[in-house]
Structure 1
Amino acid sequence: MAFDVQAPLQSAARSLSELDQRVRDDLACLCYPPANWVVPTAGDDHVHDVVVIGGGMCGLVASFALIGAGIPNIRIFDRSPAGFEGPWLTYARMETLRSPKQLVGPAYGMASLTFRAWYVAQFGGDAWAALDKIPRPMWMEYLRWYRRVLDLPVENEVEVTSIRPEGALLRLALSGTGARETSVLTRKVVMATGRDGLGHPSIPDFVSGLPQKFWAHSSHHIDFAALRGKRVVVIGVGASAVDNAAEALEAGAAEVRHLIRRKEMPRINKLMGIGSFGFTAAFPHLDDAKRWKIMNYSLRTQTPAPRGSTLRVSRHPNAYFHFDAAVEKTELEGDEVVVTTSQGKTVRADFLILGTGFGVDPLARKELDGYADKILLWRDRFTPPEDERNADLGKFPYLADDFTFLEREPGQAPWLSRIHSFNSGATASLGKVSGDIPGISEGAAWLAREIAAKFYIENFDRYWQRLLDYDTPELRGDEWSASPLPDDERTAARRQA
């Protein structure tokens, strides 16, 4: 039977308050939250079972999954002010999300938690049918509601500055105006730190000699109003590059020129074409060569900018796309940036925007200072064929099946098995289940199951003792009476004789 994904919801909530109640009813039917089954850790200081770093989409659904798995002794820290977690209202500048509106995202199997249910409750079924793509600010409104209706205890303006081993535990140093203490102890850490959660913005060497006032990465704060009447060069043509070019044009830039090293515009989102439950389930089970082949191919073909974002730029007559024009060097002449391209030609600009994306590099994470070099990377584990070499992909961590880091040299940093990389850094090892909307619920369920299994295995003796000690009877002893077995015919005859 086929279902129309655009069809009105016959039982849809008619207001947000009605949807709130529906969510609460659904959670009650699912017995959420279940009792805490985890054996507590003895000690003078309180020990959390899990600390989740990041209160954006990944952190929220991961925390919901953990609590739903009977692991409520958690803390959730986010360095941003409340309601501004993640990129949606900071450096993300697209008008709408790329993902189709009907994807369930962080709903975790609950229809009442979907964006669709939230949207229809406020605007109705006809508005849903007419909606094309989800406006970016609206997605943040939905995540704020998601956090509120699930009562997830995110602590904002708290930054984790370091993660250090302390015996069998991890001690996290905290800073920020929202921090209630300077450090906390935990058994496990989940780094739900998003797109740049295991690396940093990719800053090419050619801007190293330029003063910061002449350039910015697309993830930086940019004063677009100050670009009015200015000549802007945007490096790259991916989604973030295109969105930033559009912002500059709409702010009144005199001209915006894309400098693109590729010979033509990427047009096909390859991974979207093979996305399925089977791909998500199978990817971590593929051998290294197959996983590398898929990810390398995806990175090399590049995900194109969305059609709407590209049209948002090209509709301006003062927007230009220059292909086969890689940047060779930049120089400053007075207040003018001179860019030399691979064609031997120069472009003059007042400001550069680097749409060069993010790099995955555990060595760049200050939380892991002192031992990041002990993390096993893909380049340590796998040597690809010559035609599939990719230095950037080689920097991805080679993760265990539970999202944890592995040691480059066994025995050098055993505590790495307590840190779960639930962010974009997990992509090469486990697939796209810990950063993007389509697979985030599957990833969170997987993460919670693995953490629960580790807790049980680590304290098996305690759980075995619980089994031995359990003595609550289901029967009271008054439900039956003992009866003697009846005599068979031979026994009766012998007695009579």
Structure 2
Amino acid sequence: MTNTHPLPTLPTGFSAEDFWVLPAPLPDAEERLHRLTEAIYTDLDILNYPAKTWDYSRDHAVLEVAILGGGHCGKSAAFGLRRHGIERVRIFDRAPVGYEGPWRSHARNATLRTPKQVTGGLEWGIANLHFSRWCSARYGEAYWQRIHYIPRLFWADYLDWYAKILDLPIQNDTNIQDITWNQAEQCFWLEAIYQGRPERYKARFLVFATGMECAGGKKLPPIVSESLPEHCYYHTMDSIDFPAFAGKRIVVVGGGASAFDNALLMLKAGAKSVDIVVRRKSLTNLNRIRWSEWNGYHRHYIDLPDQMKWAYSLAEFRLGQLPPAHTYYQAIAQPGLTLHTDAPIEKLGYFDHEIVGTYGDAALRHDAMICGTGFVTDLDRQLELRSLAPYISRWQAHFTPPPGEEHAEMSQYPYLGKSLEFTPTSAEHDYLKRCYYLSGGAFLSGFRAYLSGLQFALPRVAYDIGRQLFIEHQGDIWDSFNAYDTKEY
């Protein structure tokens, strides 16, 4: 029977305003950031051993590494590769400058969902590059000590600054359309649209830093797309004009973090009411990601046997996603919000400009629907992989789950190696081992495109690319070794 949840008792001292009211920068913020930048450059000089890097480029028209995606993962990957002495790298992002990643587009959470200490290792061991130093320089140490979560827009500002001071090679407005392997040139050809015109780029290795949503696309319940006109429903990843729904009745499908974020913004924009409908009998309130935040798990999960990886991942799927406690309390405290559990979509129709639906045993009417129903992990739907996908091995080819533990979607996840590289379906396509998949589709290998695992995933990628480059150039390096004739005395 469908459950309608009453307003819960809020934690003592809880204030939603702490999440939405942001301070102005300190009067001398720019001077403080300049000093911090100089300190970072000093750190880089001190740690710059060996300063000499090998130029692995036989053809300077070919990148050593192309990184697809310029969010925090792509930016950190580029800096980490540089720290490993790999310089011919470029980041390609389809968004305009400043809109890499979701932080200024479809991300609608007031703060990041992880505690402020979890920043993904973007600093690569350089403490002055850590978000906390930037935040303290710009807004003061007292502010950093007071907050528990990083404001989303401050995280976006930090990433802009990070890319600027490190002079990261980002090419925006570039939509990669297809990728093929050119055997003669021993590199990938990337067919792209750059600022509206077709271009071709070449790279020997690829890093797919494409986040959660780029592993196949938005997941919409078929009953929604089959029963409703397109103008009255949205996915949480879509562009939504929230003020346009002032005075309207909204239904949000799903009980995850994005569903609650969008429900909250609708109410803040003046929606008359918001119903959150969740098909599960109760809202998940157990966050095992917090349990997993320890060195052994993040560092060595990828070394587990397949049956254990499957068991962990299946348990997480069955448990379901949940909103962080602070998001839940912010939303549920709103008088216009009603939470319904055990409320799957049973019937849906559109009559007289209204969405008429049955959710469990509750009959409800609304003006618009938002689907917080997640993303599809399907390599065959990922545009830039359309030529490579047929040769990428999936879990179903390597592991047969015990009876009762089958999961159709998980069986289609890419089967990744120990460095998060694709596994080819045959030796003929071994070039796929040069592709590293840092997307939501790496879930079964332990990387979920979250900040908590990033600092453990990227060193594996950087090391493996460096290893392959070194081995492939061993003849050139041997010749250089033998030609070395600088006398010590």
Give the TM-score taking structure 1 as reference length. Answer: 0.88
Contact 2:292–2:298 (CA under 8 A) maintained in structure 1: no
Decide whether aligned partners of structure 1 residues 352 and 104 sit closer, same or farther in structure 2, where only a CA change above 3 A counts: closer
Shift of 1:380: 2.1
How many Å separate the matches in 1 of 2:158 and 2:151? 11
After TM superposition, the structure 1 = structure 2 runs for residues 279-294 of structure 1, keeping only pairs within 5 Å, are 279-294=297-312
Partner of residue 439, structure 1: 453
Partner of residue 451, structure 1: 465
Contact 1:39–1:462 (CA under 8 A) maintained in structure 2: no
Contact 1:404–1:417 (CA under 8 A) maintained in structure 2: yes
SS of 1:163's equivalent? strand
Partner of residue 186, structure 1: 203
Partner of residue 80, structure 2: 65
Shift of 1:309: 1.2
Shift of 1:79: 0.8
Partner of residue 479, structure 1: none
Partner of residue 7, structure 2: none
SS of 1:185's equivalent? strand
Task: List runs of 5+ in structure 1 lacking aligned partners.
Answer: 1-11, 477-497
The one-letter amino acid of 2:297's match is F
After TM superposition, the structure 1 = structure 2 runs for residues 127-276 of structure 1, keeping only pairs within 5 Å, are 127-167=143-183, 168-177=186-195, 182-209=199-226, 210-276=228-294
SS of 1:422's equivalent? strand
Identity of aligned residues (%): 34
Contact 1:34–1:68 (CA under 8 A) maintained in structure 2: no
Contact 2:303–2:418 (CA under 8 A) maintained in structure 1: no
Partner of residue 125, structure 2: 109
Shift of 1:467: 2.2
Indicate yes or no: 2:343 matched with 1:325. yes
The one-letter amino acid of 2:390's match is D
Shift of 1:444: 1.7
The one-letter amino acid of 1:144's match is D
SS of 1:232's equivalent? strand
Shift of 1:282: 1.4
Shift of 1:32: 7.3
For structure 1, which segment, 369-378 or 110-119, has the greater mean C-alpha deviation from structure 2 after superposition? 369-378
For structure 1, which segment, 94-103 or 233-242, has the greater mean C-alpha deviation from structure 2 after superposition? 94-103
Decide whether aligned partners of structure 1 residues 96 and 39 sit closer, same or farther in structure 2, where only a CA change above 3 A counts: closer
SS of 1:15's equivalent? helix
SS of 2:239's equivalent? coil
The one-letter amino acid of 2:110's match is E
The one-letter amino acid of 1:442's match is F
Alpha-carbon displacement from aligned partner over 1:397-441 (angstroms, at most 9, x marks no partner): 101122221123x13533322221122222212x13x72222322
The one-letter amino acid of 1:139's match is W
Alpha-carbon displacement from aligned partner over 1:203-243 (angstroms, at most 9, x marks no partner): 11112222211101000101111111111110011000000
Contact 1:23–1:149 (CA under 8 A) maintained in structure 2: no
Shift of 1:285: 0.8
Partner of residue 470, structure 1: 484
Contact 1:194–1:435 (CA under 8 A) maintained in structure 2: yes
Contact 2:379–2:389 (CA under 8 A) maintained in structure 1: yes
Partner of residue 53, structure 1: 68
Partner of residue 347, structure 1: 364
Contact 2:234–2:371 (CA under 8 A) maintained in structure 1: yes
After TM superposition, the structure 1 = structure 2 runs for residues 391-402 of structure 1, keeping only pairs within 5 Å, are 391-402=408-419
Partner of residue 494, structure 1: none
SS of 1:152's equivalent? coil
The one-letter amino acid of 1:132's match is H
How many Å separate the matches in 1 of 2:388 and 2:360? 39
Partner of residue 493, structure 1: none
How many Å separate the matches in 2 of 1:157 and 1:32? 35
Number of residue pairs the alignment of both structures matches: 457
Partner of residue 118, structure 1: 134
How many Å separate the matches in 2 of 1:13 and 1:221? 33
Pick the structure with greater CA Rg. 1
The one-letter amino acid of 2:457's match is G
Shift of 1:293: 0.8
How many Å separate the matches in 2 of 1:119 and 1:186? 36
Contact 2:68–2:91 (CA under 8 A) maintained in structure 1: yes
Alpha-carbon displacement from aligned partner over 1:5-26 (angstroms, at most 9, x marks no partner): xxxxxxx998111101111111
Contact 2:248–2:271 (CA under 8 A) maintained in structure 1: yes
Partner of residue 83, structure 1: 98
Decide whether aligned partners of structure 1 residues 412 and 364 sit closer, same or farther in structure 2, where only a CA change above 3 A counts: farther
Shift of 1:247: 0.8
The one-letter amino acid of 1:87's match is P
How many Å separate the matches in 1 of 2:438 and 2:101? 14
For structure 1, which segment, 380-389 or 208-217, has the greater mean C-alpha deviation from structure 2 after superposition? 380-389
Decide whether aligned partners of structure 1 residues 460 and 132 sit closer, same or farther in structure 2, where only a CA change above 3 A counts: same
401, 413, 416: which one pairs with 2:429?
413
SS of 1:262's equivalent? coil
Contact 2:66–2:205 (CA under 8 A) maintained in structure 1: yes
How many Å separate the matches in 2 of 1:61 and 1:152? 9
The one-letter amino acid of 1:86's match is G
Decide whether aligned partners of structure 1 residues 402 and 132 sit closer, same or farther in structure 2, where only a CA change above 3 A counts: closer
SS of 1:305's equivalent? coil
The one-letter amino acid of 2:250's match is V
Alpha-carbon displacement from aligned partner over 1:320-342 (angstroms, at most 9, x marks no partner): 11110111342121311122333
Indicate yes or no: 2:313 matched with 1:295. yes
Contact 1:363–1:372 (CA under 8 A) maintained in structure 2: yes
How many Å separate the matches in 2 of 1:14 and 1:39? 39
Task: List runs of 5+ in structure 2 lacking aligned partners.
Answer: 1-28
Partner of residue 420, structure 2: 403
Contact 1:33–1:67 (CA under 8 A) maintained in structure 2: no
Give the TM-score taking structure 2 as reference length. Answer: 0.89
SS of 1:160's equivalent? strand
CA RMSD of aligned residues (A): 2.0
Q: Which runs of 4+ in 1 moved over 3 A?
A: 32-36
The one-letter amino acid of 1:169's match is C
